[in-house]
Structure 1
Amino acid sequence: MSTQLLYGGAGIALCVLGLWAFLVHAPLLRKLIAINIMGSGVFHLLIALAERDGAPPDPVPHALVLTGIVVAVSATALALVFGRRLDEQGGVPEDER
């Protein structure tokens, strides 16, 4: 089994798992975690697509993944702050926490 196939398969599995969790779970924190899992799957797919047979891997997808990780961490922090403020103001029903 090649590394490219392993990373690609893991990426597809993570995307499907994240999408399923996003659609099934109601609490906002679980939805945020599901979105992060889908993002990790996309990163895996980009890394799998960067590999070339016999040649060095393409550096552009690697740079995109590094940038995406920084953006994902920032967006997650912002979403957590918004969720906390929403919770403090009583905007989230008790059964969705």
Structure 2
Amino acid sequence: MTAILFVLAASLVFGIGVWGLLIAEHLLRKLLALNVMSSSVFIIMLVVSGGGNDGPDPVAQALILTGIVIAVAATAFALALMISIYRVTGRATISEDDDDGR
């Protein structure tokens, strides 16, 4: 029963991340939405790895930890890209009605 609640909560958090990704125009908010989505995936992976009678699977925990490290590195890279986009364009938003002709 507890696993089902965790999966439902993580699915709700993933949906919130998708909604934030689709609605937000600011690049930083899009990145935060992606991080929310990835954290919900890690929660689902943790629940699926389970904790049977023998305890949780150490391989699954290692994969989750590796995924978190990769997510942090990807976030740092995305922040660096956002800074360079801001320096070039002077704005940190993406909207389809802005057409600079570039």
Letter in 2 for 1:22: L
Matched, 1:71 2:100: no
1:52 to partner: Cα distance: 4.0
Offset of residue 90 of structure 1: 1.3
Aligned to 2:83: 84
Decide whether the 8 Å contact of 1:22 with 1:30 is kept in 2: yes
TM-score (norm. length: structure 1): 0.85
- Root-mean-square deviation (CA), in Å? 1.8
| Other-structure match for 1:60 | 59
After TM superposition, list the pairs within 5 Å mapping 1:24-43 onto structure 2: 24-43=23-42
How far apart in 2 are the matches of 1:86 and 1:48? 38
1:19 alignment counterpart: 18
Aligned letter for 1:32?
A: L
Q: What count of residue pairs does the alignment treat as equivalent? A: 94
In 2, are the aligned partners of 1:10 and 1:44 still within 8 Å (CA)? no
In structure 1, stretches of 5+ residues that fail to align are none
Q: Which moved more, 1:7-16 or 1:17-26?
A: 7-16
TM-score by length of 2: 0.81
Could you tell me which runs of 5 or more consecutive residues in structure 2 were left unpaired when the two chains were aligned.
95-102
Q: Is the 8 A contact 1:15 1:41 kept in 2?
A: yes
Query: What is the distance in 2 between the residues matched to 1:89 and 1:31?
Result: 19
Q: Are the counterparts in 2 of residues 7 and 47 from structure 1 also a CA contact under 8 Å?
A: no
Partner of 1:46: 45
Give the structure with higher Rg (CA).
2
Residue identity in the other structure for 1:39: S
Higher helix fraction: Structure 1 or Structure 2?
1
1:10 equivalenced with 2:9 (yes/no): yes
